Amino acid sequence: MLKIKWPNGSLIILATVLLWIKTYIVYKTSFDINIENWRQEFILLINPLSFIMIVFGISLFMKDKIRNRYILSASFIISVILFSNVIFFRFFNDFLTIPVLFQTSNMYDLGSSVHELVRVTDLLYFLDFFILLLLIRIKPSLRADFYVSKATRKVYFLFAFAVAFLNLGLAEIERPQLLTRTFDREMLVKNIGAYSYQFYDVFLQSKTSAQRALADGSELVDINNYINANYKEPNKEMFGIAKGKNVILISMESMQSFVINQKENGQEITPFLNHFIKESYYFDNFYHQTGQGKTSDAEFLTENSIYPLNRGAVFFTHSGNEYTATPEILNSHGYYTAALHANNKTFWNRDIMYQSLGYQRFYNMDDYHINEENSVGWGLKDKDFLEQSIQHLEDMPKPFYAKFITLTNHFPFELSEADSLIDPYTSDDKTLNNYFPTVRYTDEAFKNFVQKLKGDGLYDDTVIILYGDHYGISENHNQAMGEFLGKEITPFENTQLQRVPFFIHVPGQKGKTMSTVAGQIDVKPTILHLLGIKTKGNIEFGSDLFSKDKLDFTVLRDGSFITKDYVYTRGTCYRKDSGEQIEPSYCEPFMGKAKTELEYSDKVVYGDLLRFNKNTKLLPKSGVGQKK
């Protein structure tokens, strides 16, 4: 029997109730969790309870001297986990995973972004902890001894596990095969809870870590068959049209397509890019397909034609894999390959990953003149970065393949008045307001860069490719985005906002806007075919954008997909031309293809399967951090 006075045992009950209520309030106020019916609301309400009860229930096995200390520590640690997810969600609209937590080398460079996301009112996320701490100090009875029998502990944990099984049962009814949807973190948090999700993520991490050791070459058979069956022959008129030309590939930080040909306060946001469309192949239905790796995922996609992972960043988790990336292939065709990025070479683990991709040289912050005057936000301003890079291009052996990573148009979108060419937008959303001036600044930087390429004689012998790496304005700013665009941002509209600009300027070719549905996965085969390099037999999930047989289809990392006629996202099918919600049957023919591509791609990365591929040429890799 439980020999306990009510005030003595109330600390566990109080800690449980306070944390339970706080978690539900955070769900409703800090996370954008879509609730469709009362059953989902009930699941959301109960899903933290069993986990919290089990964690605090462990104290029932402890001696009285450490019981309260454990409850306080557990309350604080769980609050830290919840708050960390809140901060991460504020910008990335996503939940933390174990691989992201391992990316500690990025923390130094994230200072300005984190500072922008943290608020004084965030202390309220720890309010329950402070209440418990205060009560323990002013109410000595909460520190008194109390005895708990084995029978009582058994009843306590049976109730906790009963709540857990009720939660899982209801979740499985609401969303069958829930735990197979590891790419949909919102769905997992909504159904099993933020805390249980974190433990499930630990399980996923241990599972994926074992995949490489257990992998063998036989897994490539089905993947090769799928890729060969979906291979599209290059357009004969475009194949080799840029053979022997230099290639400049520029990652446009946080650049989304909605700014192209758009005005703010009567002024063009991207006047140079608007003009560059007339001199380039411009793809207006081109989507980013990144996950938690953001810019690094965009690099991985464009240079490997393989999808990034649904958890963490490949640049961190699988930098030691064997890849057959664009730089490595071009090395064997006489190209000099280099990456240029005026940041710390270890950021996003680039110094290691670039070696795996085959780069011969990595120009990092040590190769640029950086000071307070020419820096803002995350580092060297784009104008100075691109201008200083001209000399590096002139010194490179020809032909070269050079990738640029820009920085200025990065959250929190900082810019001095002296560099602002248009006024900030006027709304209640600071992030969106500041976005347009930094986009305009980067646009001007591109203009200056192209003018200098023309002056140095490089322009006429160089293919210039510009691509947006990922969104700049997340779903957390949908209200302000809706005001700017003059329409409600529905899940359909949000998917359309994942379009990013994609330009291919080929010397001697006239400009043309192409509406092929495509994504970053298609960049690699497109570049190689323009240079006259065959790709058949490579493990690539993308297709040449100029192929006459190119399928209007692209898959986003969260499982959404876009076709010529339909958009599928968050379990709903829409007409692409109108955004009208329609029966799922219209989208069903493409669901299998989307699922298969993501699953096959994950197998390639997790199992490091390219080491078994007979078509993989194991070329020697240069130390990209060394000057040559």
Q: What's the confidence (pLDDT) of residue 621?
A: 43
| 276 three-class SS | helix
Q: What's the confidence (pLDDT) of residue 141?
A: 60
Structure tokens at 587: 């989208």
Question: What's the mean pLDDT in 482-489?
Answer: 94
Q: What's the confidence (pLDDT) of residue 7?
A: 43
- Distance between CA atoms of residues 238 and 503, nearest Å: 16
Q: What's the confidence (pLDDT) of residue 228?
A: 94
295 is catalytic: yes
In the chain, count H helices and then E strands: 22, 19
Higher pLDDT, 107 or 136: 136
Higher pLDDT, 377 or 82: 82
For residue 179, give Cα distances in angstroms to 389, 448, 555: 47, 50, 21
Count CB-CB contacts under 10 A for residue 622. Answer: 18
Burial group, residue 413, by CB count within 10 angstroms (0-12, 13-18, 19+):
buried
Q: What's the confidence (pLDDT) of residue 102?
A: 57
Q: State the catalytic residue, choosing from 16, 270, 295, 408.
A: 295
Q: What's the confidence (pLDDT) of residue 100?
A: 63
Question: What's the mean pLDDT in 519-547?
Answer: 97
Q: What's the confidence (pLDDT) of residue 445?
A: 97
Residue 582 pLDDT > 70: yes
Question: What's the mean pLDDT in 413-441?
Answer: 93
* 433 phi/psi in degrees, rounded to 5: -55, -45
Residue 557 pLDDT > 80: yes
Burial group, residue 493, by CB count within 10 angstroms (0-12, 13-18, 19+):
middle
Residue 174 pLDDT > 60: yes
Residue 422 pLDDT > 90: yes
Q: What does the mean pLDDT of the chain come to?
A: 88
Q: What is the pLDDT of residues 614-623, one digit of tens each?
A: 554 434 444 4
Residue 398 pLDDT > 70: yes
- Distance between CA atoms of residues 299 and 293, nearest Å: 10
In this structure, which amino acid lies at residue 288? Answer: H
Q: What's the confidence (pLDDT) of residue 379?
A: 83
Q: Which DSSP category does 35 fall into? A: -
Q: Which of 11-20, 486-495, 518-527 has the lowest mean pLDDT?
A: 11-20
Domains of the chain by range and CATH? 6-211 (no CATH), 238-544 (3.40.720.10)
Measured over all CA atoms, what is the biggest interatomic distance in the chain, rounded to whole angstroms? 89
Burial group, residue 606, by CB count within 10 angstroms (0-12, 13-18, 19+):
buried
Question: What's the mean pLDDT in 67-83?
Answer: 90
Q: What's the confidence (pLDDT) of residue 138?
A: 78
Beginning with the edge strand found earlier in the chain, give each strand of the sheet holding 281-283 in spatial order. Answer: 361-363, 336-340, 400-405, 246-252, 462-468, 502-505, 281-283, 512-514
Please report, rounded to a whole number, the percentage of residues in the chain having pLDDT higher than 90: 61
Q: Which candidate, 352, 355, 379, places its Cα nearest to that of 368? A: 379
Burial group, residue 330, by CB count within 10 angstroms (0-12, 13-18, 19+):
buried
Q: Which candidate, 360, 361, 356, 401, places its Cα nearest to that of 610? A: 356
Higher pLDDT, 89 or 334: 334
User: pTM (2 decimals)?
Assistant: 0.78
Q: What is the pLDDT of residues 221-276, one digit of tens each?
A: 999 999 999 999 999 999 999 999 999 999 999 999 999 999 998 999 999 999 99
Query: Residues with Cβ < 8 Å from 231, sequence gap 6 or more?
Result: 536, 543
Residue 534 pLDDT > 80: yes
Q: What's the confidence (pLDDT) of residue 182?
A: 54
Question: What's the mean pLDDT in 197-223?
Answer: 80
Query: Residues with Cβ < 8 Å from 137, sequence gap 6 or more?
Result: none
Structure tokens at 334: 């006489």
Query: Residues with Cβ < 8 Å from 300, sequence gap 6 or more?
Result: 293, 306, 308, 314, 315
- The β-bridge relationship of strands 263-264 and 267-268 is antiparallel
Residue 1 pLDDT > 90: no
Q: What is the pLDDT of residues 337-360, one digit of tens each?
A: 999 999 888 777 898 899 999 999
Q: Per-residue confidence at 98, pLDDT binned at 50, 70, 90? A: low
Q: Per-residue confidence at 10, pLDDT binned at 50, 70, 90? A: confident
